[in-house]
Structure 1
């Protein structure tokens, strides 16, 4: 096993554990709170999507678990790649939704989207239904054209075990345009939302400086902390998404199985799924408060 695979397994392991912790925390929060915050619902969904996405790209899952179930090779590849692409699309949609939620939350009553503020949680659930339908449909070509490795010449190897067979150029262009327009739309929403949040943070900083100038001790508001967290997430996603596009384009030009490039692609493609829960956990004072209490109790027990 290459050193890159060791790094990937370590990275994926951290990502699964942190996303599982984040998912369970928000499940309990939603269950106990009769009026959950829309950010709790969206964060819970994002953590679930990342857990499934990280599992589908683990070689041990495709090589051992599916083999033990005696599924045909084509079915293994179709299931794994389709689920991965669906989860990847849902990750893009949910991150853009988080940015929209934060914009609506911090916006004044005169803002055009402020009418959604009071029923935002129900709108978020409706958005999830739309996102799942869109992602399931837009990636349906993976079910048709994904095959196990064969001796065919017109195939594109996408993993150690699976390939994409050649498809009609018109169908390929249609799916490419659909996927590209979908991704550009959601990334564009992230960038527009980020620009709005940067303006908000800038004006808030000016007010804080004014308060500080009159000897009032300014404190970072929850809205500002949440806005900064979403900006971190969006920035991380856009950077990793651009790197993934570059690596995928290079892999497509090679048109052959290159384990090193594929390992690099896995690493880059799972960075956001691994780091995003750490950002969300560290910025949530409810979680950091619980963790601090656990640490304090552990220190007390150790000293006694």
Structure 2
């Protein structure tokens, strides 16, 4: 209905299918609510509990990143609200695209850190991974957060250059992303540089995720065989919280890798064809939102403290 009688190129990127919008808005709403709950819970835990777990700190950071990720597309959902703001359109577009790319990178890095920490946590004392247990401190985790922010702020700076407000006057070959924002054609050298930086980051952290996940599977299999051999009910009960947390991290990584693969396919096809139609835009929005929405639900599932609180209500 919104496209009727519209001849502007802007119409090509509007989502006229209300059920699609409803689905995406619902997913984003659930994700924001779940991540906000996780963030507030772990902030209160960190402030009130003098024995804060490292997992709590990392999960808190991941929830914050995902809240920002899910809030960024508000420009796509409510363009009229952004149109009424007094900021320049170019500034708004650059800020939106830059923040979205930074948050996406932080999501990759933080998920990787969470999976590595879980491997170190469940590793037996005789394992070579055990020596890292005492090296992971709160200060080092905060230092890693600073490192993650610095590399992602740097690697995403191309969005400051190439994100522009849409104009139907003199600019040509724009990749239309939303009603008001587009990407201008990139310099080949700079485009290759930023692509190399982003791919090197993604390959490194996703590779570490996969390696840590494979090691967790091996440890779980060994643990299961040991339980079958010992037939110890008390041992099985005592180890179940760690096992449940490990399974949740494995599901988290699997969900991320699957959604990341779909995102890479969509991004690659868009970059090669320089086309971003409404269907691709709809699928891309869904793929980007799914992991940020599912991750807090998996983390809630693995934390007995949260489950206990929810059961009281």
Instruction: Using structure 2 for the length normalisation, give the TM-score.
Output: 0.88
* Paired position in structure 2 for 1:169: 188
Indicate the structure whose relative CO is greater, using CA pairs within 8 Å and at least 6 residues apart.
2
Q: Does residue 122 in structure 1 map to residue 139 in structure 2?
A: yes
Alignment of 1:166-245 (within 5 A): 166-212=185-231, 218-219=236-237, 220-245=239-264
Alignment of 1:244-263 (within 5 A): 244-263=263-282
Which range moved further: 232-241 or 55-64?
Answer: 55-64
Q: Gapped runs of 5+ residues in structure 1? A: 295-304
User: CA 1:229/1:197 → structure 2, altered by over 3 Å: closer, same or farther?
Assistant: same
Please say if residues 97 and 159 of structure 2, whose CA atoms lie closer than 8 Å, have aligned partners that are also in contact: yes
Task: Please state how far the C-alpha of 1:145 moved relative to its aligned partner.
Answer: 1.1
Alignment of 1:59-138 (within 5 A): 59=75, 63-120=79-136, 121-138=138-155
Find the aligned partners of 2:277 and 2:233 in 1 and give their Cα distance: 62
Find the aligned partners of 2:303 and 2:58 in 1 and give their Cα distance: 14
After superposition, the C-alpha distances for 1:103-129 in whole angstroms (9 at most, x for unaligned) are: 111123444443332252322111100
Find the aligned partners of 2:48 and 2:298 in 1 and give their Cα distance: 24
Please say if residues 159 and 257 of structure 1, whose CA atoms lie closer than 8 Å, have aligned partners that are also in contact: no
Alignment length, in residue pairs? 293
Please say if residues 90 and 132 of structure 1, whose CA atoms lie closer than 8 Å, have aligned partners that are also in contact: yes
Which range moved further: 149-158 or 197-206?
Answer: 149-158
After superposition, the C-alpha distances for 1:71-121 in whole angstroms (9 at most, x for unaligned) are: 111011000110000000000000000011011111234444433322523
Secondary structure in structure 1 of the residue aligned to 2:164: strand
1:14 paired residue among 30, 35, 47? 30
Secondary structure in structure 1 of the residue aligned to 2:175: strand
* Paired position in structure 2 for 1:300: none
Please say if residues 211 and 218 of structure 1, whose CA atoms lie closer than 8 Å, have aligned partners that are also in contact: no
Task: Please state how far the C-alpha of 1:217 moved relative to its aligned partner.
Answer: 7.7
User: CA 1:146/1:106 → structure 2, altered by over 3 Å: closer, same or farther?
Assistant: same
Find the aligned partners of 2:230 and 2:179 in 1 and give their Cα distance: 59
* Paired position in structure 1 for 2:297: 278
Q: In angstroms, what is the RMSD of aligned CA positions?
A: 1.8
Q: Gapped runs of 5+ residues in structure 2? A: 1-15
Task: Please state how far the C-alpha of 1:186 moved relative to its aligned partner.
Answer: 0.3
Find the aligned partners of 1:216 and 1:48 in 2 and give their Cα distance: 37
After superposition, the C-alpha distances for 1:14-40 in whole angstroms (9 at most, x for unaligned) are: 000000000000000000112310100
Find the aligned partners of 2:222 and 2:154 in 1 and give their Cα distance: 42
Instruction: Using structure 1 for the length normalisation, give the TM-score.
Output: 0.91
Secondary structure in structure 2 of the residue aligned to 1:221: helix
Which range moved further: 247-256 or 58-67?
Answer: 58-67
